[in-house]
Chain A
Amino acid sequence: MNTKKTLIHPYIPNSVPEIKGKMMQEIGVDDIDELYEDIPDFLRFKGRMNLPDPLLSEYDLKRHVNELLSKNTTCQESISFLGGGCWQHYVPAICDEINQRSEFLTAYAGEPYEDHGRFHALFEYASMMGELLEMDVVNVPTYDWGQAASTAIHMATRITDRTEILVSETISPDRLLIIQNYCNPLLKIKIMKTDYETGKIDLGDLEDSISNETAGVYFENPSYLGCIEDQGSKISSISHDNDALCIVGADPLSLGVLTPPSNYGTDIVCGDIQGLGMHMQYGGGHAGFIATHDEEKIVMEYPSRLFGIIPTVVKGEYGFGDVTYDRTSFSKREKGKEFIGTAAALWGITAGVYLALLGPQGMQDLGKLILQKSQYAMKRLSTIDEIDILFNQTAHFKEFVVDFNKTPKKVSKINELLVKKKIFGGKDLSKEFPNLRESALFCVTEVHKKEDIDKLILGLEEILN
């Protein structure tokens, strides 16, 4: 590869001239270029790729990348109150240990023999999610919540043979963009109103909007703005009365303390598992789940891989395999359900490890801790004259909206001043929810100590006074 001297790149063993020569001799060519004879000359790239000189030594590469990484300031170096789709939770050491194991990290698509462990671990992931959700079917993870919701919606339209979906107004706006693109142009997404007194769904508007064209009603619990939607049973009843499905996007970390959506009549539950043992990774740690009851007509509409437990010829030995593989686009191309490919399996395995570590008590403790810490933050924040907590009468989980409209300062300015105090303030909602004007979405989890919350209060008091 190097014309000046023979330099063999450590990633390319057969660059060694002697080996290369032997192999070329074996296939009867004098020049590797001969192997490209089928590419017409006019399609051969004649220019020069303008790429930086390579950092051939691992040391130089490490110096270079570390220099870039050092330009980042992390949520360990500052206190962060950012959530809104990606959340800072504690990641147990064993989660990292397992997802960095060479075998899991570098396996791909082996058969259920040599990759038995992959199938086993993902079956267990689905099984533990099934317990958390009280659902009997859970998919091998898809890309993220946005995709999970999009697919849940498509499934509902296929199951009901209808094309319209009602989506709650207080969904993550980014997620809505994903859904809208995925559903365009075949499905119609209609927004159902939020009651801005309570932050919950406006049931009257739901009743007015739902019709015999509605395939499903999708809402999130807790909502994007952190409110616990406690009208789930009514929403699912209204949906079912109209022969539509009820679809809920749920935060799995809330389900140690909140009743699972299946208990209030939900047909399809979806959401993100990033909080279950994945670091935030600047948004790189997402994976989406979809869960349903075990009814054939529903199961047959999943586009995802579904791993099932089966016997082997040896009594008592557990094996695994693909349930109804013929549903998938791997089997049927465009005639399969939506499409399937590589997504986020490693994060599924990791979420399984997380759930196994936390266990029933851990999930309850976690939920309770998040409730206590976020309630404490809300309470302390509400003591600052210049700000209000929106939807204060409604119960929240993890996230809540802080209203800064009484101060002359914009959220962007307040956040800028907070950064100087090594605090990342809440996510600015002024563009996402213009009706809330200068408001911010704050997120408080088990990682926040009292002193962190107190620092935020002090910082805000200094900025606002």
Chain B
Amino acid sequence: MSPVKNMKVRNFHQAKWDEPIIFELGNKGERGILLPEIEKEIEAVVGDGVSKIPKHMNREQAPFLPEISQMQVLKHYLRLSQETLGADLNVDIGQGTCTMKYSPKINEIFATSPKITELHPSQPISTVQGILEIFYKTDLFLREISGLDQFTLQPASGSQAILTMSSIIKAFHDYNGENTQRDEIITTIFSHPSDAAAPAVQGYKIIDIYPNQEGLPDIEALKEAISDRTAGLLITNPEDTGIYNPHIKEFTDMIHEVGGLCGYDQANANGILGIARAKEAGFDMCFFNLHKTFSSPHGCGGPSAGALGVKKELIKFLPVPLVCYNGSEYYFDYKVSHTIGKVRSYYGVVPAVIKAYSWIMSLGKEGLEEVSRIAVLNNNYLLKKVLEIKGTSAPYAKGHHRIEQVRYSWNKLTEETGITTEDITNRMVDFGFHMWSSHHPFIVPQPFTLEPTESYSKAEIDEYIAGLTKVAEEAYSNPEIVKNAPHRSVVHKLITDSLDDPDKWAITWRSYLKKWKNDRI
């Protein structure tokens, strides 16, 4: 009997506090925190301060905020935190594409040091040499990892890095006097939705390349798509399927031949650190999500960071400022001749940068390579085991190994039992797991995407497989228990109709009171 078969799922139950909405807590007059008293001498000089404001600008009615004592505020939020299944607690390999890995605690200590938190971004350069050194060196590290020539750490996320790439593509064609004709961006349907959506904000027409039978972006479709209207290509590799596109250099060459630029979405580069780089694949730009490959935690959906690198020829378009070093001092360079301006305030998401820097420093060259090699080993081990589960499949590239993740399908199971990916997702919760379906559109039917990264031990991967196995068995033997799941989570089956009904949706408590309780109208 293999160890996986011996592995049991947990007798799990998530914390359930049945916690009220914060407006239902506290009492009039309770205080969560007090502010300093105004000094008598100041009051003597300026009075109450408020009477200086024109009367009609005074707030007449205090905001209807809760009034709660401090410990009760703490308790409320601690309970809500317990009702959230963080990656520190679960075997978070079910959120494929997102590179859920260990975010080292020591790096939190750095990022929350007053030596960082109490810095104002407009302080004199001489007082921020430490943080600028971290910015500068992180740029140098990422140059080594990508082969590109200069990074900006300004974009606040992968999506914002994509927008920045789109802006640079536009600036490049403006510079060459070609913008009027170049109005198309090519991407692939298995690249992140923002690879299509962000350039569309800037007016680009989007062409999506679909996969061929092997699951690779169809090179014939690309040939048809490219023309003198092509502004650029924004593409992931490996895509969400975990299949590395061996023709990627042909793709970038073809785009270059018609005068376009190539941007590489490396939000997730976890399988190929030190193995394959943007430069050799012919990319002009790439970005890394520091909250994915480079270990900064995901924070319930940010703060995040998308570090964007470019080839020498494109440095002149980068957002300002760049962090530079003159041999004795780190400084900001605002003289970027054709800069696109700015995409985010100041210099970037500082805590994410510090964590990425520290993570790279703790691993070094061999460590980064080991990260990728083990992430890929874990993934292929998981692939083998998942395919042993009844009802699963891994569309495309049969018999090939995958890089860091795989997009699987429950389609067979759905056909045989009626149980869908969504049902299984909800049932996995009962065993302390999270499982994500996939980005829309669901090209792979009943999809689920797993990515075990380097962080999870074999025993943890085996436990996750035991969870999937258990739920798949239930789908065949006791589908009702899966259909009505979750049973041991924070809340029971949601009634979701009102989320799309303008008369019923309630995005704030005040709106809920009006629409559902006929109150405060």
Decide if A and B are genuine partners: yes
Residue B467 interfacial (CB < 8 Å): no
Query: Which residues of the partner chain A approach B167 to less than 8 Å between Cβ atoms?
Result: 181, 184
CB distance from B423 to the nearest CB of A (A): 12
Contact, CB under 8 Å: A130 / B364: no
**Residues on B with beta carbons closer than 8 Å to the beta carbon of A90:** 35
With a cutoff of 8 Å between Cβ atoms, the chain A residues found around residue B43 in the complex are: 372
Complex CA gap A287/B200 in Å reads 23
Q: Are B297 and A12 in contact (CB under 8 A)?
A: no
Are A127 and B508 closer than 8 Å at their CB atoms? yes
Binary flags per residue of B156-177, CB closer than 8 Å to A gives 1, else 0: 1111101100010010000000
Taking the closest CB of chain A, its distance from the CB of B50, in whole angstroms, is 6
Query: Given A14-B454, A309-B512, A339-B197 in contact, is the A86-B346 Cβ separation under 8 Å?
Result: yes
List, in ascending order, chain A residues with CB within 8 A of B82's CB. Answer: 103, 117
Q: Are A313 and B495 in contact (CB under 8 A)?
A: yes
Asked if residues B81 and A259 are in contact (CB atoms below 8 Å), the reply is no
Question: B229 CB to closest chain A CB, in angstroms?
Answer: 16
B447-471 contacts to A, CB under 8 A, are 454-458
Within 8 A of A (CB), among B54-97: 54, 56-60, 62-68, 70, 73-74, 76-90, 92, 95
Within 8 A of B (CB), among A433-461: 446, 449-450
Chain A residue at minimal CB-CB distance from B371:
A12
Name the one of A108, A143, A331 contacting B157, with C-beta atoms under 8 angstroms: A143
Q: Tell me which of B108, B249, B403 contacts A105 (CB under 8 A).
A: B108
A353 in the interface (beta carbon within 8 A): yes
A379 touches B45 (CB 8 A): yes
Query: Which among A82, A228, A376 is the interface contact of B123 at CB below 8 angstroms?
Result: A82
Q: Please, how many angstroms separate the alpha-carbon atoms of A338 and B494 in the complex?
A: 28
Contact B200 A334 (CB under 8 A): yes
Are B300 and A345 interface neighbours, CB within 8 A? Answer: yes
Stretch at the interface among A72-80, A201-209, A237-245, A401-409: A72-80
B244 touches A39 (CB 8 A): yes
* Residue B22 is within 8 A (CB to CB) of chain A in the complex: yes
Inter-chain CA distance A65–B110, complex, in Å, is 7
| Docked-complex contact B297 and A105, CB < 8 angstroms | yes
Q: Is the CB of A108 within 8 A of B300?
A: yes
Interface size class on chain A is 35 or more
Check B340 for interface membership: any CB of A closer than 8 A.
yes
Q: Cβ of B103: which chain A residues have Cβ within 8 Å of it?
A: 105-106
Interface size class of chain B, counting residues whose CB lies under 8 Å from the partner chain? 35 or more
* Contact between A51 and B364, CB atoms less than 8 A apart: yes
Q: Please, which residues of chain A bring their CB within 8 A of the CB of B509?
A: 123-124, 127, 130-131, 309
- From A34, A100, A107, A311, B401 is in contact (CB under 8 Å) with A34
Query: Bound state CA distance, A48 and B275, in angstroms?
Result: 10
B458, A106: Cβ atoms closer than 8 Å: no
Smallest beta-carbon distance A251→chain B, Å:
13
Say if the beta carbon of B266 comes within 8 Å of chain A. Answer: no
Contact A357 B73 (CB under 8 A): yes
Against B, the Cβ 8 Å flags (1 = close, 0 = not) of A38-60 are 11101111001111111110100
Q: A49-B365, A85-B346, A341-B159 are in contact. Are A346 and B303 (CB under 8 A)?
A: yes
Cross-chain pair count, CB within 8 angstroms: 737
* A-contacting residues, B173-225, CB 8 Å: 179, 192-194, 196-203, 206, 208
Are A415 and B120 in contact, CB atoms less than 8 angstroms apart?
no
> Does residue B118 face the partner (Cβ distance < 8 Å to A)?
yes
In the complex, the chain A residue whose C-beta lies closest to that of B121 is A283
CA distance A110 to B435 in the complex (A): 8
The reply on A371 being an interface residue by CB < 8 A is: yes
Partner of B122, one of A82, A180, A416: A82
Contacts of B30 in A (CB 8 A): 359
Interchain CB contact under 8 A, A341 and B508: no
CA distance A454 to B209 in the complex (A): 65
Q: How far is the CA of A313 from the CA of B496 in the complex (A)?
A: 10
- Determine the chain B residues whose CB is within 8 A of the CB of A360 once the complex forms: 62-65, 67
For residue A271, CB closer than 8 A to chain B, the reply is no
Contact of A257 with B by CB under 8 A:
yes
Contact among A52, A104, A177 with B300 in the assembled complex (CB-CB below 8 Å): A104
Task: Give the complex CA separation of A178 and B38 in angstroms.
Answer: 38
Distance in Å: Cβ of B288 to nearest Cβ of chain A = 13
- In the complex, the chain A residue whose C-beta lies closest to that of B345 is A144
Q: Which residues of A contact B130 (CB under 8 A)?
A: 68-72
Mark interface residues in A292-331 (1 if CB within 8 Å of B CB, else 0): 0010100100000111111111100111111111100111
Query: In angstroms, how far is the closest chain B Cβ from the Cβ of A332?
Result: 7
Complex CA gap A128/B368 in Å reads: 43
CB distance from A2 to the nearest CB of B (A): 6
Q: Known contacts A116-B489, A144-B345: does B56 contact A49 (CB below 8 Å)?
A: no
| Residue in B116, B197, B358, B397 whose Cβ sees the most chain A Cβ within 10 Å | B197
Within 8 A of B (CB), among A149-173: 154
A255 contacts B81, C-beta separation under 8 Å: no
Given contacts A259-B56, A359-B31, A376-B46, 19 further A-B pairs with CB under 8 A are: A11-B362, A20-B374, A32-B373, A49-B368, A69-B130, A82-B120, A104-B300, A108-B87, A117-B81, A123-B507, A143-B156, A184-B170, A280-B121, A281-B117, A286-B346, A294-B507, A307-B507, A341-B160, A344-B302
4 residue pairs, one from A and one from B, having the closest CB atoms: A54-B364, A284-B350, A283-B346, A371-B49
CB<8 Å pairs between A and B, sample of 17? A11-B454, A35-B377, A35-B401, A78-B127, A84-B122, A92-B33, A102-B81, A115-B434, A123-B508, A283-B348, A320-B494, A329-B193, A340-B159, A341-B160, A363-B63, A395-B54, A427-B122
